[in-house]
Structure 1
Amino acid sequence: MTVREYTESDFPVVCSIYLDAKHDELQFESGEFHIVPLTQDAAILAAFKESAVVVF
């Protein structure tokens, strides 16, 4: 497995993984949830941009 630094071209896949993870996180909760995509959540997106990210 190759581990490398994140590049901007990885962003669409990161967004997809983010949505999938949120669905998994909430799957056993009762009620309906509106999951805000990473691109539309300013606070989470800012935190992501400040993070050191690696991909594999």
Structure 2
Amino acid sequence: MIPQLNRQLENFKVRVTEEKVARITERPGYDRRGGGDGGLAGLGLIGLAALWQLRRAR
């Protein structure tokens, strides 16, 4: 399955460069850092802290 996906990705890259089927644009208000706001990571840390406290209380 992975080799087939790699072939499809390579074919898509060729199509993008030769046939111009996709275009990359920049939106105002976004910078190039990427990533998210960290909300999900913060929620995960709170969950881990709660789990740690529950185990410690036993």
TM-score, scaled to structure 2: 0.34
- Bigger RCO of structures 1 and 2 (CA < 8 A, at least 6 apart): 1
Bigger helix fraction:
2
Bigger strand fraction:
1
